[in-house]
Amino acid sequence: MNFDEIIGQHRAKSILLRTLDHQRMAHAYLFSGIDGVGKEALALAFAQAILCSDSQSRPCGHCSHCRRVHSFQHPDLKFVFPSSAASVADERAVLDSVILNPYRRTSPWAAPTISIDQIRELRRMAALKPLEGKHVVIIAEADKMTIPAANSLLKLLEEPPESMIIILTASAPSTMLSTILSRCQEIRLGPLSDQDIEKALMEKEGIEPERAAVFARISQGSYRRALEWMDESLNEMRDEAVNFLRFCFKDIKSQLELIETLTQRGDKRYIKDMLTLMLLWFRDALFMLQHAAKDNQLINVDQRTTLERFTGAFESIQFDAVFIEIEKAVQMIERNIQVNLVLIVLMRKLKNNMILKGRST
């Protein structure tokens, strides 16, 4: 992974390149930012640069060190991620997926925590002399460490070995121990621009421009989210979100049948994604009513005609209340409240805040 393969993040890359040029590296770094903006990708590029043997162009991408870092075969590189008691084969599968695309996620990576045993292994590594330069440790999603794991890492950071550089990544650094944060140099990665995501989707994934524009705008600054939307049936899910709004004005029997169909078709993640699309739909509707939005201001840029028909069908929409009710529904689903109940209540709430033309209630 070279720096020029990182999507956007020009400020963060400049900081790290200056650090390499001046040979003034901290013992520990924290790369923070929302999911999917390239924290792990940047950490791998930085690790490759640290271990690269070419002093003129780091990382060169061609020396034996760079090649081994890229394939996770370098003896002085350790990549830690949230993992269950996975087999060696399962862990290798995760690493292979990171090699293929560090912006994606795989199921073993989605384990809830980083354990103390994983951190103890790093402390044993720190006691050994590096074979070829420095030990470089990447702890992906360090905010998912258990409390014992975090305390164990803190001990390592309190007396950092000269031969080890630790790179943490975290989407929610505020949940981490303040004593860990204070011992790291934080590099903040901002949300990616729509233009950067759109360009990456076209160049890396071969997506046609119009679809790339939709995926970019709907991903809200996260390239990983754009890839996930690309993998899912976005158009179908968006149609279901709009259809859900139509059913708010139907009889209770029809509403219950639709909700049953939705819950059978998808899991909680699917329903939450559908509600996210619903929020973005209302956002565009509000924008069109207030600003006569141009295409470059719309998220659902490919649905302008449908949005115009949608907004034209209503006498009034209480947008603030609608946004609140949809967000509350997402939160209730996250708290494991029965999805069917959440959706039927949401239908009632939405109907109360939308008045169709020709209807007084």
Same domain for 119 and 261, yes or no, is no
Report the chain's mean pLDDT, rounded to a whole number: 88
Span 320-330, pLDDT tens digits: 999 999 999 99
Span 262-293, pLDDT tens digits: 888 768 888 998 999 999 999 988 988 877 65
Same domain for 120 and 253, yes or no, is no
Per-residue confidence (pLDDT) for residue 296, from 0 to 100: 66
Whether residue 84 is predicted with pLDDT greater than 80 in this model: the reply is no
Q: Give the CATH number for residue 345.
A: 1.20.272
CA 147, CA 145: separation in Å to the nearest integer? 6
Give the residue from 131, 162, 190 where a domain finishes. Answer: 190
Q: Which domain holds residue 170?
A: 3-190
Q: How many CA atoms lie within 13 A of 187 on its CB side?
A: 27
Give the residue from 190, 224, 246 where a domain finishes. Answer: 190
Per-residue confidence (pLDDT) for residue 259, from 0 to 100: 92
The answer as to whether 22 is a domain residue is yes
Per-residue confidence (pLDDT) for residue 295, from 0 to 100: 61
Same domain for 171 and 296, yes or no, is no
Span 328-347, pLDDT tens digits: 999 999 898 999 999 999 99
Question: Looking at per-residue confidence, does 355 or 232 come out higher?
Answer: 355
Same domain for 112 and 21, yes or no, is yes
The answer as to whether 123 is a domain residue is yes
Span 172-198, pLDDT tens digits: 999 999 999 999 999 999 999 999 999
Same domain for 59 and 182, yes or no, is yes
Q: Give the CATH number for residue 171.
A: 3.40.50.300
Per-residue confidence (pLDDT) for residue 318, from 0 to 100: 94
Per-residue confidence (pLDDT) for residue 34, from 0 to 100: 94
> Nearest 10 degrees: CA dihedral of 239, 204, 46, 58?
-160
The answer as to whether 227 is a domain residue is no
Same domain for 117 and 266, yes or no, is no
The answer as to whether 119 is a domain residue is yes
Same domain for 8 and 156, yes or no, is yes
Q: Hunting for tokens 């169709």 — which residue is that?
A: 356
Same domain for 18 and 158, yes or no, is yes
Whether residue 350 is predicted with pLDDT greater than 60 in this model: the reply is yes
Same domain for 109 and 19, yes or no, is yes
Confidence of residue 95 (pLDDT cuts 50, 70, 90): confident
Confidence of residue 303 (pLDDT cuts 50, 70, 90): confident
The answer as to whether 218 is a domain residue is no
**Which of the residue ranges 210-214, 219-223, 233-237 has the most confident prediction, judged by mean pLDDT?**
219-223
Q: Provide the domain count of the chain.
A: 2
Span 6-37, pLDDT tens digits: 999 999 999 999 988 887 889 999 999 999 99
Same domain for 164 and 275, yes or no, is no
Please state the rounded mean pLDDT for residues 80-94: 73
Angle between helices 234-247 and 304-312 (to 10 degrees): 10
Give the residue from 127, 157, 190 where a domain finishes. Answer: 190
Please state the rounded mean pLDDT for residues 221-248: 88
Please state the rounded mean pLDDT for residues 60-88: 83
Question: Looking at per-residue confidence, does 137 or 83 come out higher?
Answer: 137
- Length of the chain, in residues: 361
The answer as to whether 210 is a domain residue is no
Confidence of residue 361 (pLDDT cuts 50, 70, 90): very low
Per-residue confidence (pLDDT) for residue 29, from 0 to 100: 96
Whether residue 90 is predicted with pLDDT greater than 90 in this model: the reply is no
The answer as to whether 220 is a domain residue is no
Residues 6 or more apart in contact with residue 360 via CB below 8 angstroms: none
Same domain for 76 and 166, yes or no, is yes
Same domain for 161 and 248, yes or no, is no
Question: Looking at per-residue confidence, does 45 or 23 come out higher?
Answer: 45
The answer as to whether 81 is a domain residue is yes
Per-residue confidence (pLDDT) for residue 72, from 0 to 100: 87
